[in-house]
Structure 1
């Protein structure tokens, strides 16, 4: 009997239908807000925060062979972490000031008072969207910084923004663009 069952399992697996493509893939984010300076800017991981404009900041140790390019920011399905090779991964959260943030490599430390979600990936047609729905937020907003970038925050009125005035921030639609390539970064910094 054990012999028959052992032979049947591989046959059953081979006969099973192919899995459907995931409706919740890895993805990058592009901001959409017509007639604004943030329209079509990519979301980039930099300094444990996220920005529209500028470039992604990543790192790969010298002893790692075949380092990923690290030049684009990609989220894992659902958007609660980043697509990286570093052991332990890098989790996404909203810090107590409202800034969209990510954990340092090799650490699960998230500041007290932060929110680890809910992050929502909506596979709408024709474009999927990514948002944060905690703390009564209606998604994300981008706030100007002193260095001509736009820092990403939860869209909440009591956020502590770079220039001090939430009224300068722009709400935006975060389009989630599917990514099916290799892991894009060893770790984000």
Structure 2
């Protein structure tokens, strides 16, 4: 009886002193909605420090040798983060300056932001659409491997000198089983 009581007390003490595991972020994928266009239903990929639509291969290094043909994200403190269960975060920035013209990219860990780069301002609205400071995204053709590079829609005719850009709705899709990946840098 004494042994059972000691075992029970030990079990209770272990249960109450164990640190709770951190909450898993609400992860999602992003799909472009732009009817009657080559980007309609295209999922967002991450590669070479940028975000793309219709990228054939993002060449990310994923946990367990898995692969993913699109990127997975979460929003934390108004920052858009590429999903990885590893310690170093990859965060998405926007450069709305005259030099950046709305370019969207990402940095890894403590890498410096572009001079006018901004991390905070991302949100998912009630309709499950992704925005940066209430501004929608656009995509411009003729990027790497025939993909479309993602920019912030600042109303410029040719952001970064690109022609034929299309605005789109960035619809988030819940992803309950995300693949943990590290995306390539420039």
Tell me the TM-score normalized by structure 1.
0.71
Alpha carbons of 1:182 and 1:35: their partners in 2 closer, same or farther (altered >3 Å)? closer
Larger radius of gyration: 2
Alpha carbons of 1:142 and 1:85: their partners in 2 closer, same or farther (altered >3 Å)? same
Q: Paired residue for 1:179, among 166, 175, 180?
A: 175
Offset from partner CA, 1:105-137 (integer Å, 9 cap, x none): 44332111012131111242xxx111112xxx6
Matched, 1:59 2:61: yes
Matched, 1:188 2:183: yes
Q: Distance in 1 between matches of 2:37 and 2:68?
A: 28
Matched, 1:149 2:153: no
Counterpart position of 1:16: none
Q: Distance in 2 between matches of 1:76 and 1:67?
A: 22
Matched, 1:98 2:132: no
Counterpart position of 1:77: 75
Alpha carbons of 1:117 and 1:163: their partners in 2 closer, same or farther (altered >3 Å)? same
Counterpart position of 1:131: 131
Offset from partner CA, 1:33-82 (integer Å, 9 cap, x none): 1111111111110111001101323125xxxx734434430002356111
Matched, 1:48 2:49: yes
Q: Paired residue for 1:111, among 111, 114, 117?
A: 114
Q: Distance in 2 between matches of 1:148 and 1:140?
A: 19
Counterpart position of 2:6: none
**Contact 2:28 / 2:73 at 8 angstroms: preserved in 1?**
yes
Give 4+ residue runs of structure 1 displaced > 3 Å after superposition: 105-108, 158-165
- Unaligned runs of 5+ residues in structure 1 are 1-6, 12-21
Tell me the TM-score normalized by structure 2.
0.72
Matched, 1:88 2:83: no
- Paired residue secondary structure (1:77): strand
